[in-house]
Chain A
């Protein structure tokens, strides 16, 4: 109970005082997660839509794989990216290990299957409604993809938010490929892990509250926009 109270006041003090370290950590967290989600969205939207709409051999297998990859363990992804980017690995010459870029890559790999699986479901439902009309209008396979993606834009936002939630919450992958280096690759989740292991529980709790507030803020904004737009566009 004391720890909780201490945490609450610590958090308040840090936020109100705009502590420089805290601001840097939060900014890095946001920039890594948002970049990862942005990149994942660009990859996952066409992928999910194509699996939903196009007919090709092995389609059922791809669907199962996408759903299964949603549960990819972050440490496994971290390990794979670590091996890829380490000096002995195939991409070692790029010198990306222990940089925010490596963290973005790892989170992107984690988040892409989630957004792709959501997209697949949303687009498949829309396709059922639109398929006959689009065929009647003579819409080709690629244009069908973009038409369905655009028309499903509000529902797709839910998948993207789920991806953002996963990215901002995870610690296993970013700690392995980022190294939790002060002022370079230290984000909110890795700081929580560090401060807890140092026994600095009030600070760890405070950061936890701040992280939840951040995620809540992003989700609330997105939901408000989505509801308003849905009411307008139907």
Chain B
């Protein structure tokens, strides 16, 4: 049974504070299925926090996160997240995939076939029997992506997925991401890399000091930023 659609996501007046410090303040936006959403901003802007709040890993101090017609707990089962450093199990590459397939209740007979299909799409099939932890950084991140994709999520969150990777590995990850996007999964990712944002984004959420400064289609944002902070950031200057 296909689960009901959880998009669009509507965030209203989202706040997150720790020890009196407002790390996220008054964030409101709406994002629908389709466009790849990139959360852009300098380090410390609150991008990772925003993702973790939307994915339900953290509870907001104030404000609401509303997934279409369902609770955040149910919505989480239709989402997946990939972190900057891939957290892989101390097992083989193949076992990392079958682990999540088993989580989903896929019968044993079908697990192997689906695991191989996923690994093949990720370009990791030759490495199936290798321990996941001896793979290179790029291969590990592709495996983490493959594992997330095996869950068939409606929304895939990615927190700086290529920040620790070399250009070749970054290219491989972006290509896989493109495929995931084309199969219908909504991508919401953070990056501080302008070049990557230009390559991948359809829609930009620009954060600075925990506030949402701009929310615009990518072409509009890059050609005609509306705010001083965005302009400074796009010029490659340091922003604090």
Contact = CB atoms under 8 A, between A and B. Distances in A.
Q: Give the interface size class of chain B.
A: 10 to 19
Nearest to A126: B90
B57 A234 contact: no
Contact of A137 (B90, B100, B132, B133): B100
Given A130-B87, A151-B89, A138 B131 contact: no
A222 B75 CA distance: 45
B7 to A, nearest CB: 18
A232 interface: yes
Interface in B80-110: 80-81, 83, 87, 89-91, 99-100, 103
A158 to B, nearest CB: 15
B57 A151 contact: no
B12 interface: no
Contact of B80 (A136, A139, A152): A136
Contacts of B103: 137-139, 143
Interface string B10-27: 000000000000000000
A2 interface: no
Given A147-B89, A151-B89, A234-B90, A136 B133 contact: no
Contacts of A135: 57
Contact of B57 (A129, A132, A139, A232): A132
**At the interface, is chain B mostly helix, strand, loop or mixed?**
mixed
SS of A interface (majority): helix
B152 interface: no
Interface of A: 129-130, 132-133, 135-139, 143, 147, 151-152, 232-234
A122 to B, nearest CB: 12
26 contacts: A129-B87, A130-B87, A132-B83, A132-B87, A133-B81, A133-B87, A135-B57, A136-B55, A136-B80, A136-B81, A137-B151, A138-B76, A138-B77, A138-B103, A139-B103, A143-B103, A147-B99, A151-B89, A151-B90, A152-B90, A233-B91, A233-B131, A234-B90, A234-B131, A234-B132, A234-B133
